[in-house]
């Protein structure tokens, strides 16, 4: 009698234990998936069902994101929105499974990416353009957070007014041209970059050749990055059927004699920007679409740089090789016509946004490179245009009193006794590895000074807050170097000088240079953070990041500053002119 109930009890105990184990296991896995999903959803709204995102938990592979080899081919090939989302999270390290998460500088400026057309979206936003063009397979609208940038440091009032008027006066708006997206705020001594947008567009079944995108600047601004850039050449094409398979095979074996034959390509991305074969314009143009759509690239993506890579300057070919997110064997470019099943184009991309600038440094040089502390950097770089540099393509803009400038800087650095030193660049021997050279600049440069010219473009690789001085002919004022340097928070100064001849050779103003170095070298900019968040409701920014040390460089509280309308009051920062007699 007592035997049976005991067995029953024992069985109950087992059933109970098994149930508890099952419940615990279930709970743990739900928690794990929830954890992963929450991390990914952190990026933007709940536009996808979480189940979809966690279907493929081994994707994305985080450490491969920042210094990746070619991305894996299995990255959600089918659904471009899901691919975009997972790879974007991966680039920012948000899904770091191998260790603690590092907050990147680019993440602090990450754009909102809209991937689906919804009933409340303007019809010209990229996801809704798919409704207009049957062969537009996918479009994403890249909504960049607004920011404001400090105007340059100046040496006298008259030059400050002239520079501001010439570049951002009523008739001119910097590189953004006729779109006038830059708002000049002289009261705060800042430019506000508002409402910047980008579009990543993927067309299907299109014929591509080098006529599709212009390879140089056009007066009507319809080149890549120009504000009238258009995708018209791709709209109607999707209706043509792809060539029959037999013909493809012949092309691949090189048997086709017909020059019109097209090579079949699964996925390709076009980066045909003006003068993209040249060092300077690869840096200030091509890198921007490259960064805006980095999260859409896979190991299958064929690179289309305009013609073939071999037609570019050797340094440009080298720099293409620095990009970690392309499959190297897909990088030759194309010399003939292609039939592309998916063609990615991102010509609608802002010239200037910290996300794009920091992203480039992080991908090429490493995650910490935008924020190398100033205290570790001891080199003042003088970019000379007076040496016999064979790589320089144009002459002029030599500094005629260069020897005196160098002597004065050396004397100052010695007096300071902080271990700082002057170096004259470019080096007499071209560096054997240009990547080592830019790494060196990133890790060591505290300042970079010199006349307007290509050498200064190397500041693209400098860490935040590096002091930059451009010696600019007063009769030839321009914005690009300024905008390229404040885009990642460099402490940019400009001295306008009178040209002594038609080649714009100039005498540097030595007392200005020395006074600037005394005031700013090795320090955070006296006029405050170079780039700051800007939002219609500053108190919301304060609530969100006001107390976070990592965001401090991009945030200045507006409390007690908001409504001062008189010069000299805290809210009136004004143009920054180096004080004191010189």
The contact set with ligand NAG (CB under 6 A) reads 66, 70, 73, 93, 96, 98-102, 155-156, 299, 327, 329-330, 367, 509, 511-512, 582
CB of 427 to ligand NAG, least distance (A): 30
Nearer to ligand NAG, 68 or 350 (CB): 68
CB of 495 to ligand NAG, least distance (A): 8
- Count how many Cα atoms sit within 13 Å of the Cα of residue 92 in the half-sphere of its side chain: 20
CB of 36 to ligand NAG, least distance (A): 15
Q: 424 CB contacts (<8 Å, ≥6 apart)?
A: 382, 384, 387, 406
The CA angle 521-524-526, to the nearest 5 degrees, is: 90
Distance CA 389, CA 218 (A): 31
Nearer to ligand NAG, 118 or 511 (CB): 511
Distance CA 238, CA 235 (A): 7
CA-CA distances (angstroms) from residue 522 to 50, 413, 438, 440, 467? 47, 11, 20, 17, 8
CB of 263 to ligand NAG, least distance (A): 13
CA dihedral 553, 558, 560, 566 (to 10 degrees): 110
Distance CA 556, CA 297 (A): 36
CB of 332 to ligand NAG, least distance (A): 10
Nearer to ligand NAG, 98 or 429 (CB): 98
Distance CA 568, CA 572 (A): 6
Q: DSSP readout, 479-523?
A: SHHHHHHHTTT-EEEEEEE-BSSTT--B---HHHHHHHHHHHTTS
Nearer to ligand NAG, 72 or 230 (CB): 72
CA dihedral 532, 536, 541, 546 (to 10 degrees): 60
Nearer to ligand NAG, 187 or 328 (CB): 328
CB of 497 to ligand NAG, least distance (A): 8
CB of 451 to ligand NAG, least distance (A): 16
Nearer to ligand NAG, 326 or 554 (CB): 326
CB of 63 to ligand NAG, least distance (A): 6
Nearer to ligand NAG, 64 or 215 (CB): 64
The CA angle 198-202-207, to the nearest 5 degrees, is: 125
CB of 394 to ligand NAG, least distance (A): 26
CA dihedral 6, 11, 12, 18 (to 10 degrees): 150
Q: 505 CB contacts (<8 Å, ≥6 apart)?
A: 396, 397, 398, 399, 400, 499
Nearer to ligand NAG, 174 or 370 (CB): 370
Residue with nearest beta carbon to ligand NAG:
99
Closest CA to 290 of 231, 344, 228: 344
Nearer to ligand NAG, 281 or 330 (CB): 330
């Amino acid at each position: 009698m007592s035997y049976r109930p005991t067995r029953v009890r024992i069985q109950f105990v087992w059933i109970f234990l098994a149930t508890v184990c099952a419940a615990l296991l279930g709970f743990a896995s739900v928690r794990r998936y929830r954890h992963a999903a929450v991390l990914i959803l952190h990026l933007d709204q709940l536009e996808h069902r979480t189940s979809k995102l966690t279907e493929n938990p081994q994707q994305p592979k985080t450490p491969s994101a920042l210094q990746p080899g070619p991305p894996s081919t299995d990255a959600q090939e089918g659904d471009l929105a899901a691919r975009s989302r997972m790879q974007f999270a991966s680039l920012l390290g948000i899904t770091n499974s191998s260790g603690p998460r590092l907050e990147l500088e680019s993440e602090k400026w990450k754009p909102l990416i809209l991937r689906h057309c919804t009933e409340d979206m303007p019809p010209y936003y990229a996801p809704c353009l798919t409704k207009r063009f049957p062969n537009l397979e996918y479009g994403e609208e890249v909504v960049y957070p607004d920011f404001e940038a400090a105007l340059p440091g100046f040496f006298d009032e008259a030059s400050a007014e002239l520079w501001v008027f010439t570049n951002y006066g009523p008739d001119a708006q910097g590189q953004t041209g006729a779109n006038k997206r830059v708002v000049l705020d002289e009261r705060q001594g800042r430019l506000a970059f508002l409402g910047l947008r980008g579009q990543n567009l993927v067309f299907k079944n299109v014929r591509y050749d080098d006529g599709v995108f212009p390879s140089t600047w056009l007066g009507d601004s319809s080149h890549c990055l120009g504000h009238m850039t258009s995708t018209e050449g791709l709209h109607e094409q999707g209706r043509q059927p792809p060539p029959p398979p037999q013909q493809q095979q012949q092309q691949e074996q090189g048997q086709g004699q017909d020059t019109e034959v097209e090579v079949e390509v699964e996925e390709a991305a076009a980066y045909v920007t003006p003068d993209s074969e040249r060092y300077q314009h690869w840096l200030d143009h091509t890198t921007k679409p490259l960064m805006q759509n980095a999260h859409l690239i896979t190991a299958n993506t064929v690179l289309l740089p305009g013609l073939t890579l071999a037609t570019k300057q050797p340094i440009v070919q080298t720099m293409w090789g620095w990009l970690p997110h392309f499959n190297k064997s897909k990088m030759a470019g194309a010399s003939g016509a292609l039939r592309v099943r998916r063609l990615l184009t991102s010509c609608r991309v802002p010239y200037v946004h910290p996300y794009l600038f920091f992203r480039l440094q992080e991908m090429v040089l490493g995650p910490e490179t935008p924020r190398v502390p100033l205290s570790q950097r001891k080199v003042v770089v003088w970019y000379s245009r007076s040496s016999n540099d064979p790589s320089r393509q144009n002459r002029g803009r030599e500094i005629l009193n260069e020897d005196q400038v160098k002597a004065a800087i050396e004397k100052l650095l010695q007096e300071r006794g902080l271990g700082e030193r002057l170096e004259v660049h470019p080096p007499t021997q071209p560096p054997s590895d240009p990547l080592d050279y830019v790494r060196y600049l990133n890790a060591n440069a505290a300042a970079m000074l010199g006349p307007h010219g290509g050498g200064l473009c190397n500041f693209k690789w400098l860490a935040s807050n590096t002091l930059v001085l451009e010696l600019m002919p007063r009769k030839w004022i321009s914005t690009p170097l300024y905008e390229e340097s404040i885009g990642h928070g460099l402490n940019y100064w400009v001295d306008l000088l009178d040209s002594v001849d038609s080649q714009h050779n100039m005498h540097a103003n030595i007392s200005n240079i020395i006074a600037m170095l005394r005031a700013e070298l090795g320090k955070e900019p006296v006029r405050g953070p170079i780039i700051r968040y800007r939002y219609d409701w500053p108190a919301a920014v304060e609530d969100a990041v006001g107390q976070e040390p990592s965001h401090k460089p991009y945030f200045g509280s507006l409390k007690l500053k908001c409504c001062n309308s008189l010069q000299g009051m805290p809210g009136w920062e004004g143009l920054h002119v180096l004080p004191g007699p010189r």
